[in-house]
Chain A
Amino acid sequence: MNAVDARTVTKNFGQFTAVDTADIHVEPGEVVGLLGANGAGKTTLIRMILGLLEPTEGMICLFGEPPGIEQRRRIGYVPQNLGLYTDLTLAENLTFRSRVFSAAPAPAPMSTGMSTGVVVKEQVVGSLPLGLQRRGAFQAALQHRPDLLVLDEPTSGVSPLARSELWDIIRSEADRGVAVLASTHYMDEAVQTDRLVVMANGQVVATGSVADVIDDRRTFVVEADQWAEAFAALDNAGRQPRLDGRTIRIRDDCDTSTRSINEALKMSGVVADIRSDKATLEEVMVELST
C-alpha cells in the first residue's frame, strides 16, 4: 500500500490554479524528490498531503485512507524554516513535540560524525549553527516514528559534510520502510533520491530517475579562447548563455543551431568550437519550467 496516493489532484485559489491534475505516489521505503521552480505548485501539493489544504478536485489517500487524524499522526514533517521554537532549547523543543504526539522521545537518529549531544540539547535552538538546527528538526520530526517523512528543502544552507549526515538519517529511515517525500532546489541532491517528480505550472511534467528526466535533451557547448567576448556576444544575441568555468553552455532548442550560434559569434569576430553535450538536470529543470 502506498504511503501517499494523490490522483488527479487540483487546487484552485479563486481563478488561479496552483496544482493542476497532479498525480503523485510514494511507496514505503522509497525516497521521492519533488523538484520545481517557485510557483510550480510544490508547496501547495505538500500542504494538501499534510492535510492543511483540501483539494478542489481529485483525491489524496494516506496509507490507503482519506487523510484523517490517524493518518496524519503517521507523518513526520520538517518545514523549510524547521518548525522549531528558536527561543527554547533543543531538549525543550523535543519534549514539547513528543508530548504533542503522546510519544516517548526516541533516541537520536543514527548518523556518522557529529551528534546532537547533551551540550547541544541544552542550548537555545536559535544559537545553534544551521546544520545542528536541521538535525534537531529531523530528530523532532522522527520522535513519534512516522511512516511518512515530508521534507521541504531538507539540507538548504548546510555544508557538504552536514548535508551527507542529514541524508544518512533520511536513508536510514527509508531503509526501515519509511516513505520519504523531499522537495529540493539543489539539483545535485537529486542523486540521493530513488525517483524524481518534476512540477511546472501546477502540473507534473516529468517523473523517473535523473536519466529519465533528462531523456535525450542536449545543450550546445561553446569553447573560445576569447570566452568573455563570446559570452557577451551570445548574451547580446539573446541566447541566454550560461558559464561553466570558461566554457559557455546554450540550450539546444528549435531556435538554436550551430549555425545561429556561429552567426552571433561572427558578428563579434570570435572564433569558437561548438559541440553538443548531454543537458544537465538543472538545464532540463529550467527548460521544463519556462
Chain B
Amino acid sequence: MTWGTTDLTVRFDGEVALDQVSVSIEPGVIYAVIGGDGASKSTLLRVLAGLGLDHEGQVRLPPQERIGFVPSHGGVFGDLTVDENVAFIAAAYGLKNWQPRARELLERAVIDRFGDRLAGQLSGGQRRKLAGSMALLPEPQLLVLDEVTTGVDPVSRMELWRIVAGAAAAGTAIVAATTYLDEAERAEQVVLLHNGCVLALGTPAEIVDGIPGRVTDETTPSERSNAWRHGRRWHQWHPPGSTSNTSTSNASRTNSAHQTYRPSLEDAAIVHELAFVGASE
C-alpha cells in the first residue's frame, strides 16, 4: 500500500502554501522533509497527518486511527505523569494488552524510570521521546514527525531516531521534517521544499548528484553571492555555463587549493535554494 499526495495544492487566504506537491510514501521508508522558513514543511505534514486542511489534488492516507503525529511543540500532556500520558493514549485508541508494548517503547526511549514524573517536568529531549513513544503506541502505519529534534541534545536525538528506525523496520512509513541535515542524510528519501514547491526529491545521494553546475572548495570565493563558509574556507557554487565555471577564473588562478568537491546534503540544499532564487529573479 502506498500513500502520499498528487498535485497537492493548499492555499491560506488565497496565498499558495503548497504548490502541486506530489510525494509517494511507502511502508518501512523514512522520508526527511527539509527546507527553510516559509517552505511549508509543517503544512505538508499537517495534510499527511490527516488534519483535514482544505486542498486541491489527491491525498492518499491510512485510516486516521493508523496515523501517528508529533507536532513541533507539545504532543504530551504536561500535567499528567509519563505513565498517565501513555495510559490516556491507550484508552483513547481502545488498545488492549498495551502495557508490554508501552514498557518496551519507554525503555527504548530511556524514560521508563520516570513513569511517575509529570511530563511537564521532563527535559525537552525526554518530552520529545515521550511524544514519539505515545504516537507509536497504537502501531501507526504512518508516523508524521514535525521537527521533533530541533534543540534536542545529540544523545536524546540518537535515542529518538532509534525508536523511529525500529518502527520503520517494523513497516511503519515515517515522514519527518528536520532542520538537521545530518539527520536527513541518514533518511532513505529526502524531500526538499522551498516556498511550497518540491525543489528536489530522492535519496540523499540523488539530491547531491542532482544539483546543477558544480561546487568547489576555496580559500577565497570569486563570487561571494554564490559562496558560503566552511570553517575558515569557502564552498562556492558554479552554475552551469557561468564564467567562473572555467579553469581560467580568478579563483582558480590565484588559489592553488581551488578544487571540485563532493558536496554534502547541506551544500546541495543551499545550491538548490540559490538556484531557485536565481531562477525566480
Binding site for B on A (CB under 8 A): 35-40, 80, 112-113, 129-132, 153, 156-165, 167-168, 171, 185-188, 191-194, 227-229, 231-232, 235, 240-246, 282, 285-286, 289-290
Contact = CB atoms under 8 A, between A and B. Distances in A.
B28 A112 contact: no
B165 A242 contact: yes
A112 B225 contact: yes
Contacts of A243: 30, 161, 165, 168-169, 186
Contacts of B269: 159-161
Given A164-B228, A186-B180, A289 B154 contact: yes
Contacts of A231: 165-166, 169
A164 B229 contact: yes
B101 interface: no
Given A112-B227, A158-B179, A37 B153 contact: yes
A193 B229 CA distance: 11
B37 A158 contact: yes
Interface string B34-59: 11111100000000000000000000
Nearest to A113: B225
Query: Chain B interface mostly helix, strand, loop or mixed?
Result: mixed
Contacts of A186: 180, 182
A285 B168 contact: no
Nearest to A130: B37
A156 B150 contact: yes
B112 interface: no
Give 4 closest A-B pairs by Cβ, nearest first: A159-B36, A129-B37, A164-B228, A243-B165
Contact of A286 (B154, B169, B170): B154
A35 B153 CA distance: 9
B11 interface: no
A39 B154 CA distance: 12
Given A232-B166, A235-B166, A37 B151 contact: no
A161 B273 contact: yes
- Interface size class on chain B is 35 or more
Given A162-B37, A164-B270, A228-B168, A187 B150 contact: no
B255 interface: no
B264 interface: yes
A38 B154 CA distance: 8
Contacts of B232: 171, 194
B182 A286 contact: no
Interface in B146-199: 147, 150-158, 161-162, 165-166, 168-171, 179-182, 186-188
B230 interface: yes
B101 to A, nearest CB: 14
A185 B157 contact: yes
B264 A188 contact: yes
B221 to A, nearest CB: 9
Given A159-B36, A159-B37, A228-B170, A192 B231 contact: yes
25 contacts: A37-B154, A37-B155, A38-B123, A38-B125, A38-B155, A112-B225, A129-B37, A131-B37, A157-B179, A158-B37, A158-B179, A160-B34, A160-B270, A161-B270, A167-B228, A171-B229, A187-B182, A188-B180, A192-B229, A231-B165, A242-B186, A244-B186, A245-B203, A285-B154, A285-B155
Given A285-B154, A290-B155, A159 B165 contact: no
A245 B204 contact: yes
Given A243-B165, A286-B155, A168 B181 contact: no
